[in-house]
């Protein structure tokens, strides 16, 4: 439903798990929609602390704009494993 390209989810040499393209993807093509809960910064801060306290090694939060963050840590899809900092 949210995937537009053939992708593979597996162990990564860079950081634990990763998402890998299984076909060429042009710069302007949709890869996959980042799915999760839309939250505000104050909620993101609280959740990040809670995730640390729960021993969750990685949280998957993606800033959309000044007011909106998508938290895919517990209810996301494979898009959370894309290394969006590169």
In a domain, 43, yes or no: yes
Specify if 86 maps to a domain.
no
Structural domain includes residue 29: yes
2 lies in some domain: no
Structural domain total, the chain: 1
Residues 51 and 32: their CA atoms lie apart, in Å, by 25
4-18: pLDDT as tens digits: 788 988 888 877 778
Whether the pLDDT of residue 85 is over 70: the answer is: no
Please check whether residue 1 lies inside any domain of the structure: no
Say which CATH number the domain at 28 has. 2.170.270.10
Measured in degrees and rounded to the nearest 5, phi and psi for residue 32 equal: -160, 145
pLDDT at 86 over 60: no
**Residue 67: inside a domain, yes or no?**
yes
> What range defines the domain where residue 23 resides?
7-81
Residue identified by tokens 């007011």 is: 67
pLDDT in tens, 26-39: 888 888 899 999 99
Tell me which residue has tokens 């939060």.
61
Task: Tell me the per-residue pLDDT of 40-67, one tens digit each, with 9 for 90 and over.
Answer: 999 999 999 999 999 997 789 999 999 9
DSSP H or E run through 42: helix 41-53
Which residue has better confidence, 57 or 69? 69
User: Is 24 among the domain residues?
Assistant: yes
- What token pair was written down for 28? 């302007």
Q: What is the pLDDT of residue 55?
A: 93
């Amino acid at each position: 439903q949210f995937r537009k390209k053939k992708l593979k989810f597996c162990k990564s040499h860079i950081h634990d798990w990763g998402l890998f393209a299984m076909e060429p993807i042009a710069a302007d093509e949709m890869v996959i929609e980042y799915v999760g809960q839309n939250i505000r910064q104050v909620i993101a801060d609280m959740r990040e602390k809670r995730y640390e306290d729960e021993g969750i090694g990685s949280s998957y939060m993606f800033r959309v704009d000044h007011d909106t963050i998508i938290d895919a840590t517990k209810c996301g899809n494979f898009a959370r494993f894309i290394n969006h900092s590169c």
